[in-house]
């Protein structure tokens, strides 16, 4: 029972990191605040004296027609993208925050020094059956690879002096110990990766929703006014559609790129673990 509790505590520790259920609502508030008070600042529009407050502009067609961004005013133009914009801003902030978190976690998991050098050194020591020296290298590495290798080498030493098991049983026990150690490390490496993956898809879909809403407004303006198109409303609708499209595609592209980058980093660490695990098993088979 105590062993089970210790394993559960270790898994919880390895899975530590930012809690999405707590962080994402905060980021949503930040995104809305950026939209209302930075992008919606009166100085970003031609007639700031007509500005009746961010909320009135956001929900009033009359006010939104009065206030136009100055020539080349990209911030004010983005604000005119409508209520989908703060959602897309939140998505972008979320991608940035969790990417930084993943970069820090994976950097720590990589440990100290060059990981390729560490792998070569461990394999060289195992070829010479210098298990204690290899354990010392794991302590100095202080990364996920070092943690898994240390667990494997600790089991290696214990099995080397075990007289109750035959060689085949010892190999099975050694392999199981390495697999369990790897399993304990993986939650820390993979946590929150699903957020980047999800936003890579969802951001585009939400942007498409904003695009459709903008085009609906544009066509309504085109067909309204007793046969005379409302040029201002038409341009506003098209602008809203394009702004949402741009924000969504940009967020999605960044999320996908970063997700693939971090996935490759995790795969690289996993490959190094598998490489050393094979060396540990070969060394044990040769010397014991």
The residue with greater pLDDT, 68 or 82, is 82
Taken in order 34, 35, 40, 43, the sign of the CA dihedral is positive
Of the pLDDT bands very low, low, confident and very high (cuts 50, 70, 90), residue 238 is: confident
Q: How far apart are CA 127 and CA 124, in angstroms?
A: 5
The pLDDT of residue 77 is: 80
Report if pTM > 0.85: no
Of the pLDDT bands very low, low, confident and very high (cuts 50, 70, 90), residue 251 is: very high
Q: How far apart are CA 241 and CA 210, in angstroms?
A: 6
Q: How far apart are CA 190 and CA 15, in angstroms?
A: 9
- For the chain, domain boundaries: 110-184
Closest CA to 141 of 99, 113, 100, 162: 113
Is residue 157 a contact partner of residue 138, using CB atoms and an 8 Å limit?
A: no
């Amino acid at each position: 029972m105590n062993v089970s509790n210790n394993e559960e505590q270790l898994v919880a520790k390895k899975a530590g990191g930012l809690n999405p259920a707590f962080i994402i609502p905060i980021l949503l508030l930040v995104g809305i605040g950026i939209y209302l008070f930075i992008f919606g600042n009166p100085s970003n529009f031609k007639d700031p004296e007509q500005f009746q407050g961010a909320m009135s502009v956001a929900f009033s067609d009359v006010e939104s027609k009065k206030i136009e961004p100055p020539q080349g005013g990209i911030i004010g133009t983005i604000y005119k993208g409508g209520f989908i914009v703060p959602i897309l801003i939140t998505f972008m902030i979320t991608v940035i925050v969790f990417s930084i978190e993943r970069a820090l976690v994976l950097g720590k998991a990589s440990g100290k020094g060059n990981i390729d050098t560490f792998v070569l050194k461990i394999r060289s020591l195992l070829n010479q059956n210098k298990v204690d020296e290899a354990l010392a290298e794991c302590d100095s590495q202080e990364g996920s690879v070092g943690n898994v290798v240390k667990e494997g080498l600790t089991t290696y030493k214990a099995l080397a002096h075990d007289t109750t098991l035959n060689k085949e049983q010892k190999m099975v026990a050694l392999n199981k110990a390495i697999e369990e150690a790897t399993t304990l490390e993986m939650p820390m490496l993979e946590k929150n990766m699903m957020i980047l993956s999800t936003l890579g898809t969802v951001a585009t879909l939400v942007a498409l929703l904003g695009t459709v809403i903008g085009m609906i407004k544009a066509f309504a303006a085109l067909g309204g006014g007793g046969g005379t198109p409302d040029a201002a409303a038409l341009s506003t609708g098209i602008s809203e559609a394009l702004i949402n499209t741009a924000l969504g595609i940009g967020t999605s592209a960044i999320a996908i790129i970063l997700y693939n980058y971090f996935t490759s980093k995790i795969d690289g660490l996993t490959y190094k673990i598998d490489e050393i695990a094979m060396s540990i098993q070969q060394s044990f088979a040769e010397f014991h």
